[in-house]
Structure 1
Amino acid sequence: MSLALTHARYRILETIRIPIAVLGGAFFPAASMLFFVVPFAGDDPVAATYATASMVMFAVMTSSLFTYGVGVSEDRAQPWDPYLRTLPAGPGAAFAGRILTGLTFMAISLVPVVVIGWLFTAATATPLQLLLAVGAVVLGSLPFTFMGLAIGYWLPTKAALAVAQIVFFPLAFGGGLLSAPNNAPGFVEAIAPYLPTRGAVELVWAAVGDFRVSATSMAALVAWTLVMAGLAAWAYRRDEGARFS
């Protein structure tokens, strides 16, 4: 664990030396809160609470896809990464450090969304609801974490960036993150239950409000998580075999 924390500290320090890399991950969710949630739903406690929860998952997905997807791919292109694979400690500590780093920047990306929701909208949540929301966010982040890792270990940097950008908006819009519960366009409501974004955001909606999750969305979330975990493991082993066999 100590070695994993050392790896995490190294990666965090490496990233915060370029402040725009940190600010960029928090910009889009915060901007969406300011331009879309505050003016249109800020005065309605229920709508503001659900919209803030949606923007939280928006931030989680952004952070996961780009921190892991692009970050892993960039690291693979550096000589430091293959050197770490040769050390007797093995890849486990470095991998754990990467996950801790991703969780840290995910938390950082959530702060502006929560602060804007608290200061500028009528969103409300009890301490218990906030605690449940944290658990929901952790569970909901799993498919996007595995998706980011699969992209990062499978593709070179330029391709990883392009793929992360391509999948980002369709998942956000198609999963209903940019609309109120049960108020999305018809075609979105038809496909949303089968996307991981919908299952993830439904968990957070249920944690902070009186929302009943869909069995279809939960089944799809589990299926996406398992499939993405399998793809991430395959991509890691493929990279390992290609470069270190």
Structure 2
Amino acid sequence: MHVTPSRFSLIRAYSKAQILEQLRIPVAVISSVVFPSLVFLFFVVPQSSVTQDPLMSLESIAQLAMFGVMSAFLFGYGIGVAEERANPWSSYLRTLPVGPVPGSIGRALTAMLFSCLSLLPLLILGAVLTTAPDAFTSGTLHWWRLPAAILAVLICGIPFLAMGLTIGYLCTSKVAIALTQVLFFPLAFAGGMMLPPFLFPAWLNSLSLLTPSRSARDIAVQILTGHGLTAQSIPVLAGWTVLLVVLALWANRRDQGRRFR
């Protein structure tokens, strides 16, 4: 008797396959895990004016956490999906009558798992090399903000995951590499992840507030430190998330339809 697998079992199978595939390339996993921590060591730790201020330290940790998640999602899935489309096994999987949703959700869950792992060394370094813990031990901030900020960073990374998937499904691997680089660095800069937004000129700040990277950064900083959120941060990020998720699903169906129908 033929039994149709449930949607949950399909998502679980796709997630397991994605996790095992990532683990087969240890260098890729290690690089994505240590990247935010290296940036923290080279660009934040040498600034004593930042490390000696608990709130500024936390702000730096929050925006670098968002920087790392955005980098992992865009590069890992923008380029990774494009390369997989040229793989015969991937092409076979795309012919199966399961639709794009289980595979897309499986990729998202895998991306969040490894991004969460990349946040752990960053948090440890922040606790050891800065005065960030003083904000919690002194009673200025509550400890619930820490796990809430980790969850927020992962959720705020969803539009960048969708952006990466859209690029991967629409472009060849060579085009995906170039396009991902072209998009990532301007988004990271405009989002205040390389330079604090208070240093922006007025015109750049106004433009920055319309980007998903700035909204994601401000939400992460707000949850961790209690300040930094603007009125448009949540609506802007929600709008970009819906738009990019719809584009990712459309790109998946378009690619499958062009090649297998």
2: distance between equivalents of 1:213 and 1:38? 25
Match of 1:57? 66
Match of 1:196? 212
Task: Note the C-alpha offset of 1:82.
Answer: 2.2
Match of 1:143? 159
Query: Structure 1 length as normaliser, TM-score?
Result: 0.91
Q: How does 1:35-114 map to 2 (within 5 A)?
A: 35-40=42-47, 41-114=50-123
Aligned partners of 1:73 and 1:155 also within 8 Å = yes
Larger mean CA deviation between 11-20 and 65-74 belongs to 11-20
1:8 aligns with 2:24: no
Q: Residue type matched to 2:237 in 1? A: L
In structure 1, stretches of 5+ residues that fail to align are none
Q: 1:20 to 1:151 in 2, by over 3 A?
A: same
Larger mean CA deviation between 45-54 and 117-126 belongs to 117-126
1: distance between equivalents of 2:235 and 2:85? 34
Task: Note the C-alpha offset of 1:214.
Answer: 1.0
1:156 aligns with 2:172: yes
1: distance between equivalents of 2:207 and 2:42? 26
1:120 aligns with 2:129: yes
In structure 2, stretches of 5+ residues that fail to align are 1-7, 137-141
Match of 1:19? 26
Aligned partners of 2:69 and 2:154 also within 8 Å = no
2: distance between equivalents of 1:161 and 1:27? 21
Task: Note the C-alpha offset of 1:59.
Answer: 0.7
Q: Residue type matched to 1:21 in 2? A: A
Larger mean CA deviation between 30-39 and 55-64 belongs to 30-39
Among the aligned pairs, what percent are the same residue?
Answer: 40
2: distance between equivalents of 1:229 and 1:80? 25
Q: 1:26 to 1:186 in 2, by over 3 A?
A: farther
1:237 aligns with 2:253: yes
1:221 aligns with 2:230: no
Q: Which protein shows a greater Rg?
A: 2
Q: 1:21 to 1:32 in 2, by over 3 A?
A: same
1:178 aligns with 2:178: no
Query: Structure 2 length as normaliser, TM-score?
Result: 0.86
Q: 1:114 to 1:10 in 2, by over 3 A?
A: same
Task: Note the C-alpha offset of 1:133.
Answer: 0.9
2: distance between equivalents of 1:155 and 1:199? 27
Q: Residue type matched to 1:47 in 2? A: M
Task: Note the C-alpha offset of 1:91.
Answer: 4.6
Aligned partners of 2:55 and 2:132 also within 8 Å = yes
1: distance between equivalents of 2:98 and 2:253? 18
Match of 2:227? 211
RMSD: 2.0
1: distance between equivalents of 2:203 and 2:55? 24
Task: Note the C-alpha offset of 1:187.
Answer: 4.8
Task: Note the C-alpha offset of 1:239.
Answer: 0.3
Aligned partners of 1:175 and 1:191 also within 8 Å = no
2: distance between equivalents of 1:221 and 1:72? 24
